[in-house]
Structure 1
Amino acid sequence: MHFLDQAKIFVKSGDGGPGAVSFRREKYIEYGGPDGGNGGKGGDVIFEAVAGLNTLIDFRYTQHFKAKRGTPGSGRDRTGAGGPDLVIPLPVGTQILADDEERSVLVDLTKVGERVTFLRGGDGGRGNASYKTSTNRAPRQHGPGWPGEEMWVWLRLKLLADAGLVGLPNAGKSTFINAVTNAGSKVGHYAFTTTRPQLGVVSHKGNEFVVADIPGLIEGAADGAGIGDRFLGHIERCRVLLHLVDANDEDVATSYRIVRDELEAYGGGLEDKPVIVALNKIDTLDDELIAALSAELEAEAGVPVLALSGASGAGIQPLLDKMLEAIGPKPTDGRFEFDEGEDADGQTKDWSPI
């Protein structure tokens, strides 16, 4: 299945059905009078967060969604049937944004089963029976029904995970997530092996948590270099970040600082999240060199550094203990709690779909 995390769609609620113009016609009943019923209400447009979806690929080729209109009224004061609601299923973590310069968030679906009535259907038109007065005994006017609402919106998916993996390309993130989960990420001896976010579930000491792996960052990613920072939105809601540094890099401190600078340039609160720093690929080094590199990296990061090897499994268990401790207990209602993203200047982060 292809991964798609943004899409633009058009949504329209149903128009209200027209009211009826009708007069009572029964044998032996004189002056029956008007009996035209009202039209039915148009269908609403409802967004619902459902389990089992992790991409917006369904919206690549289907971009127009219109609810049905209400049924017209009829004689004998019969109101028309309302149009069925249009329910649009979305992955958990999807945001609906206005199609304007501000890209303001209109809806944020963060819980399975959450439903939001986004556009309300138009009310049905009045039938001629409702126009009857003491001076107008045989009205022939009726309401055509109120139109529904319509608008273009952007859908943006932010994956919901407990921990996010960051690092330079070839830092060993895919190897690590494959070692601790069943994600099945592609591994290769070249940069940008991972081209789309990957999710995996870690089972550790009777607990489970979700890890998200995103494409590697390079210097200038915030300005569009490499794959850019487009996928950083998928770790905005993580409780902790795991920063992997390749022990074979020429300067591990510089490697750490490059990624850290890009996180700070992106904003979104990523620079303020708890971070676990790990020196990866230690299976290729001796103990003395591992200790020296760990000390160098710790001096730059300002936090304790864990040493591990995703390929051999060395050091993984202590790291998972640390991650589990940092993640902490989950909300009892199943909802992900997070702060709105801000950029480096403290302003609400403006997102562009381009």
Structure 2
Amino acid sequence: MARKTNSKKSTPANTPTKQKKKVAEKKPSTIIPKERVTKSVDELIKYTSKSQESDKEEEKNGKKQLLEDDEAELKKDLQLIVVNNKSFTGTSKSFKLKLLNIKHSLYKPWKEASLTAVKDFKILLILKDSDIKKVSEDDLFDKLDSEGIKIDEIICGKDLKTVYKAYEARSAFISQFSLILADDSIVTSLPKLMGVKAYNKVETTPVAIRTQANKEFSLTTLTNNIKKVYLNQLPIKMPRGTTLNVHLGNLEWLKPEEFVDNILSVSEQLIKGFPIRSVFIKTNKSPVLPLYYNQDVLDELVAKKEKTQEKTEDDMVTIDGVQVHLSTFNKGLMEIANPTELGAIFSRQVNSAKKRTSDELEKKSSESETVKKAKN
């Protein structure tokens, strides 16, 4: 009796063969790949460490003056640069900070680091005139101490009008604080009371918090909102322009993986809320590292630019060998004018077009020289 073999020839034609299952591509769990952010943070830590070593060596050899503590700290200041497709706030200037959720508190490590820094980490609370006597620093201590939060001073709007009315006194008082919290019902009136200078820095710009429940002052509501900001939120100042700078803290304040979590959280909230074009990361003295590009937004920008160029080209006419842009009225005038006199009639437009062409050529030449130098 012939022995059966397991060769392909002995397999019946109608026997289905096992097919390999297609492995579905694993989609990244975050908009920006976590690995990219991790690598960028690691690279910036290495760069900053090398820069510090180089500074110390130069100081040792007398080639460089000893760095001030503040300047040395600034080198480790981590920032997220976010570029929007259009203005973040439109034509109006926004004094109110936007609060973004983060996993790891910026203020806790900031306060710990301040123990050995020139400036102490202090918190100011600004309440309504009618609520100032309803709470004391001791009341807040009992509610917040377990989280390591201390409110250093409580004032009301009236204090800013009287005790700190003088510019020097007000400026010196406000500059003491690293976090200023204010009742959300009075926060819009504070720019006039605190002065515009206070709003130049995020740390001295008031963060709006709720203090009321059922239209009445509530100690529980107040303390819960203080905890929320201190432990899980990051205030950012929205610019009128298209570039946003987000302060993420000193590189020594958090672990690398904690920075990565916060960067991913902040980036995703901004990308979902605005037509963000690109996101970069850097320290004050480091190169800029790219984290994200939105191709759809970039394509939209290119399409708009091409459309504008096409429209401009349609409006162009040639006078004395020069491409000139004319309005509808001037085009009509051109049709009835003597062709030999066009150069004289539209001399202003012709000269302007010549100057613009000359400037563009000069700019291109300058950019070309810059690129050549960079390559060398």
Q: Quick check: which has more Rg, 1 or 2?
A: 2
Relative to total residues, which structure has the larger helix share, 1 or 2? 2
Question: Which has the bigger relative contact order, CA under 8 A and spacing at least 6?
Answer: 2
Relative to total residues, which structure has the larger strand share, 1 or 2? 1
Give me the TM-score of the superposition, normalised by structure 2: 0.26
